[in-house]
Structure formats: C-alpha cells, structure tokens
Chains A and B, each alone.
Chain A
Amino acid sequence: MQRIGVFVCHCGSNIAATVDVAKVAEMALMEPGVVHAEDYQYMCSEAGQAKIADAIHEKKLSGIVVCSCSPRMHEATFRKAAERAGLNPYMVEIANIREHCSWIHKDMEEATKKAVILMRAAVAKVNLNTPLKPGESRVTKRALIIGGGIAGIQTALDIADAGYEVDIVEKTPSIGGRMSQLDKTFPTLDCSACILTPKMVEASAHEKINIYTYSEVEKVSGFVGDFTVDIRKKARSVDMDKCTGCGVCQEKCPSKKAPSEFNRGLNTRSAIYTPFAQAIPNVPVIDREACIKFKTGKCGICSKVCQAGAIDYEQKDEIITEKYGAIVVATGFDTINLDKYDEYAYSQSKDVITSLELERVMNAAGPTHGHLERLSDGKAPKEMVFIQCVGSRCSDDRGKPYCSKICCMYTAKHAMLIRDKYPDVNVTVFYIDVRTPGKNFDEFYRRAVEQYGVNYIKGQVGKVIPQPNGKLLVQGSDLLDNKQILKEADMVVLATAIEPNPDVRKIATMLTASIDTNNFLTEAHAKLRPVESPTAGIFLSGVCQGPKDIPETVAQAGAAAVKAIGLLAKDKLMTNPCTAHSDELLCNGCSTCENVCPYGAITYEDKEVNDHGIREVRRLAVVNSALCQGCGACTVACPSGAMDLQGFSNRQIIAEVDAICR
C-alpha cells in the first residue's frame, strides 16, 4: 500500500477564489492510501516545495499528488522537488484544478466538487504508480537549419560561432530570403542588401557552416539529440566545384522568358540563372521547365560557352542523409494570394501592386532599375495610393485573422522614400489603425506625416476602379470626415497580408511540430518558451512562429541559437521513462505492435521463457526504450494485453476512469 500525500495549491486566488481548497484537502484524507493532506498559498514557491519535502520525510510518503495548475506548467518543478527529497520523481501526479477547473467555472460548490473528483483520479492513479528511471541517449553535435533567410543565417552564425557544425538547407538557388528582396529597411532606412550580404558572405565562409541551396528536407526520423534527416539536393545541372560564376551562360542563354521569382514575376530571367547578383553560392541553376535543351534536346549553348565545363545536363537529384542533434525551423513567409480580393483590381490592372512588388520596383536591381514608374506604360506616377490591411485582420475566409505587423511601418517607409526622391508625387495612405509599437517606430511614422507630408486617411478602400484612360479610381471611406472619397491615382499599392511559407505544413508534419490554424508553428509556451517547439529538439526562428520585422527576427534567431546550443552542449540526454514494455508471458509473438510503432522501437527476438514451469523458446516483442517515445499505439494494438505503457498503464487509466465515474 502506498503512503500518499496530497498538496492543494491556492495559487493565490487563482484557484482558491472558486475552489474550496481546504475542503479538497479534507476530502483527500478519505481516499485510500492518503496519509497526509494540506493546502498552501503557493505550492510552487520555495516554501511550498519545502512543505512537500518535509511531508515526504516526516510521513514517509511513497507518492504525492499536487492539486494545482496544469502539469504542462509545473509537473517538472514538483518532480524535481520530490527527487530532492528522495522520492522517485515519477511517483508524482498532478491534478489540474486551475486550467481545467477554477478558471472555467464560477460556482464555488460545483468547482469544488469537480476539484475533488480530479484529486481522486490523481490519487487513484498514483496508488498504482511505480518508480521509473529515465535512460540516456546521445547528442549529435550538429544542427540543421531549415531556411536560409535572415533568420536562418543568424541562427546558423550564432550556433557555428559557439563551435558546433551547422547545415543550412535552402529551397531556392541562393540564401538571402525575403530580406534580399527588400530595398530599404525601417526605421533607419538602411539599404537591405548592404546589411544582409555581409552576413550571407560570413555564413558561406564560416568553416563550421555548410550550405545546401536548391535543396529540401525530405524525411526526418529520430528524436531530440539524434535526428536523421534526408536532404534532397535538386539537380542544379551545373557543377558547383567547376563553376567560376562568370555569368556568361546567363547572358548567352536564348530562353529568357521565365518569370523572375526574385522580382516577383514583374520581369523575366534566363533559363540558366542565379536569382540575383549577390547570390550565394554564385553558381547558377538550370530551370529545366524553361530550358530549351531540356524541352527539345536542341540548344546546349550554355555548355558551349562555359569555359570551365561546369554545365552538366545529366546531373540527378541527390539524397544526402545526415544526423543532427537539433533542428531549427526558419522557413519565413510569403504574401497571400490576392485572387479573392479583386475589388482592389490586382488582377485587372498592372498598376495595382503589392508592397513587396514595390520593393522590387524601387530597387536599383529591380525590373525598372529603381525608377518609380507604372508597370503598364512606364509613365512616372503623380498620385500614389496605399491601401493598408489587405487580407489582414479579416475574420472571413478570404484573409487572415491576425495583424501582419510589418505593414504600417513599411508603408510609412515607402511613402517617405517616394516623397523624398519624387517630391512632386502625392502619396495617400488609407488606414484602419496605424500600429507602430517599437523603438523609434511612431517617431518614424510621424516623420512621414509631418516632414514628408504623406496624406493619411482613416478608412478602408471599398473598390479600385480602373478607368478607360488608364488611371485608377480609388473609392474609399474617410471616417473622420464622414465622406466617401473618390480619388484618382496612377498607382495603387496593397499592404498584402503575410502568411507562413506554404511549405511549412509539410515540414511541421515531418518534424511532428505543432502548427496553429494559421500555419504558424506553435511555441512550447507563449510567454516563457517562445523559441522552442513543444517537440523536443525543434526550435523556431523568425516569421515561421508569427509575424515579425527584421530586428525581432534577428533577436529571435539568436534566442533559438542559444536554445539549440544549450542542447548541443550536453553529452547525454535523459530519455522519457514512460515507455512501452511487453510482458513476456503474455506476448504471443504476433507482430501487430511492431507494425504500428512509428519509431521502429519494437523488434522480435527468440527468447527462452519459463511459463509456469514450462521452459521454451518463444518469439517475443522487445521494446528498445531508447527509441520508444511512449505514444502507446502498441498497447492498444496488442491483442493479448502483453504490451503496456509505463506511467500510463492500463490499470492506471482505468483507475482514473473509475474514480471519475464513481
């Protein structure tokens, strides 16, 4: 029989205001095995933990139940406290009477009743707990970064500087990401390329960093400290070792009609291409869809002009398998598709563009060589209208319910830059709210208004109406003047909502990392563990976790690196002892469990057993506890009831069910 202690936490008034904690403690004493019960204001405080330790010593407790907040919050705290007092940490159970009780119920009597039942279930379970011992697993001292934008580059540099090997996998032919497409950055108006390219060079030159561009993660297996990852290196059709990056092939390539991804499709590129001049690596790829040689078999000009003999039409995709201790996701974002917002005439007029497209238009390496001009006729605009919140803050299924966070600031930046370079161009911004929380952000926005005379109108635009003369009529609200405005514009710029890179869903599934309804990766704790995924060993860097600007992204990238370094610095990890185990006498050797195990943790061995005096060799399931992650799929699949899960055994769960239904 266990000697159980029950500790009921007030959590200040969080629990005590709706649950009669003294009553819960009193009722606990009536439960089988309970020899001690008390309540205290803050069980998680040092004094609270001391009370637990004292009771363990004095009452010789063999198990404890803490009625408190969610086990996802303080289970680890109380297990450690118990361990310090000499109790096996797995003899601790938590009854969640805060998140699952006091916070959602208002009636004291009802909430107290429920808290008592939750306590009973935990007591019933702990009565059947057995001491468990975690195993150990090794840590591969190498990190994988998925995504080579500013987030991925920064995380890679920080991890590599700490002395660990880092691989970056980037889908496109070059690292650099979205930041490489930006012209200037707010609020200091630094040239984006000028501050990014040194980082790109540093990453590529770093002896600890290895970059796989034009590559994708294809398969992930294993677990924290010991992931095995397949990376598909797509056929570049150019030998990276031989290519000198002279660029002649791109110049001579006769197929020049493919839309340029880097310039958001606003102009075209050759079939053999590097996305932009400062690309790293400076080795082109052949776009096989656009290449005449691949389409018709005739051409081969690039091969003829390449003095280094680097062109290789026969190159095939290559799969590289590598082991990692930690994985950082830095997959970034894209702007949403505007098909469902055609009241803004995006698909009907070339002069309605997104803000990211405007970045390319304003950039010297862009489709207009940095001249602000209409994409329909090349004329210089006189009136520009910016529309905010296009697809952001939408609760219908056309857009995104969240604020994209960066648009208010980049629009102020665009408006300011245009007014600065082209003082004769009038700039009007239709906004719902201007949101500028950030260092020097509101000052920046006010400068746009006060110093540069940008006209901000509070109200959304209802429709952009292309006119036969090529102009655009913008029909919007001025809520402060209570007017409907018709404004003729030459160009309209849409502050298009951002969304996580569409590939992230696939990647999250491979990593078994949680993702929210907007496809942002979920953090382990919204406030206290913002750069870790709930899945151990997976870290989050940049916009894949939520909308962010560059300074925030860089800060978070550094934080993710620190967390990854903290993991890589360990030689061994304690494994979760709540693993499956099979009762040799019950196992019938059917292999059902082996087939459902997602980790390959179950194998079959011929073993000699002593079944009630009969000694014989049988084929039996054996669980490799280093591989088992404790999901329990095998326990339900097992037809003979041999397989059970430690810490969540059949008897334990049934005891909980019984206690609840009592």
Chain B
Amino acid sequence: MGAKKKQAEMIEEISGVNPLKCMKCGKCSATCPSYNEMDIKPHQFVSYVINEDVESLVNSKSLWKCLSCFACVERCPRDVKPGKLIDAARQMVVRKREQNYLTPDEIPELLDPELPQQLLVSAFRRYRR
C-alpha cells in the first residue's frame, strides 16, 4: 500500500468518518464560524481524504482554526462529521515528536490573570500530544 493511501486510511480510522457519505452540499462550509480563517474549507476536507492528499491537509492552516464547535457535525445532512476529520488530521500532527502547536515556553506571555484553567487545559489537549 502506498504511503498516501495509508495516511488517508489512518484519518478515516482515527475519525471514524466515512468520507464517501458526503453528497457535496456544502452545508458544513456554510455553517463554519472559522470559514474565513481556513485555507482548506470544511467541505474540502472530505475530498482531500478521498484523493489521498493528507499531506496538504496536515500542512494547512485550517488544522489550527477549527474550534471543534460541532456546528458542521450537527447540521450535516449526511452524518459525515467534517469536524472529526480535521481533528484526526490534527492528531496525526501532534502525535509526532516535536510537532506540538503549543509549547510550555509560549505560555507565560499568553497568560493573563483572569484566564480560566479550562482554556489552558483545552488548548493543551487540542494543540499537543
């Protein structure tokens, strides 16, 4: 099996999403609050996986712009869950060594006195292994 195919299958496995269920209606992109910040748009996640171009997906900005707010998951008429796909791509990055999107060194300057623990905890979960 080619490396590309393997990566695509890994995304499908981690996310538990079957991208072939997508009917390309674009409701995910219509509903996404981070749409304008993303380079690869939510409805495109599916075709990147189908076309086995996980490389582009894991290098995209979109990885770090998804809020995991599940609007796309809730409103998708085909139960595709694009939000889970992009999270799987993010997992593939942060599970590699030295690929964290957030390092402890960055923290002090990001802190402010009112900042709730929840924010740090959540960010660590999403950005790091």
Contact = CB atoms under 8 A, between A and B. Distances in A.
A399 B79 CA distance: 12
Given A395-B21, A432-B23, A477-B43, A459 B29 contact: yes
A475 B31 contact: yes
A462 B27 contact: yes
Contacts of B46: none
Nearest to B71: A462
B4 interface: no
A460 B26 contact: yes
Nearest to B35: A484
B29 A479 contact: yes
A477 B23 CA distance: 14
Contacts of A399: 77
A280 B8 CA distance: 63
Given A394-B78, A395-B79, A459 B25 contact: yes
A174 to B, nearest CB: 36
A482 B38 CA distance: 11
B32 A462 contact: yes
A389 B25 contact: yes
B41 interface: yes
A477 B31 CA distance: 8
Contacts of A475: 30-31
A461 B75 CA distance: 10
Interface residues of A, number: 21
A459 B78 contact: no
Contacts of B75: 343, 462-463
A393 interface: yes
A396 interface: yes
B31 A463 contact: yes
B30 A393 contact: no
A63 interface: no
Contact of A396 (B24, B35, B43, B77): B77
A176 interface: no
Given A484-B32, A484-B35, A396 B79 contact: yes
Nearest to B42: A477
A89 interface: no
B42 to A, nearest CB: 9
Interface string A53-97: 000000000000000000000000000000000000000000000
Contacts of B77: 389, 393-396, 398-399, 460
A477 B79 contact: no
A478 to B, nearest CB: 8
Interface string A621-661: 00000000000000000000000000000000000000000
Interface string B14-56: 0000000101111111111001100001010000000000000
Interface in A459-498: 459-463, 475-477, 479, 482, 484
A630 to B, nearest CB: 43
A484 B33 CA distance: 10
B23 A393 contact: yes
Contact of B29 (A396, A398, A432, A484): A484
Contacts of A343: 31, 75
A460 B72 CA distance: 12
Given A394-B77, A396-B79, A461 B23 contact: no
Given A395-B79, A396-B79, A462 B25 contact: no
Q: Which 10 A-B pairs have the closest CB atoms?
A: A462-B31, A462-B30, A477-B26, A460-B27, A459-B26, A394-B77, A477-B30, A460-B25, A484-B35, A432-B25
Interface of A: 343, 389, 393-396, 398-399, 432, 458-463, 475-477, 479, 482, 484
Given A476-B30, A482-B41, 20 more contacts: A389-B77, A393-B23, A393-B25, A393-B78, A395-B21, A395-B77, A398-B77, A432-B25, A459-B25, A460-B25, A461-B30, A462-B32, A463-B31, A475-B31, A477-B26, A477-B43, A484-B29, A484-B30, A484-B32, A484-B35
12 contacts: A343-B31, A393-B78, A394-B78, A396-B76, A396-B78, A432-B23, A458-B26, A460-B27, A475-B30, A476-B30, A477-B29, A477-B30
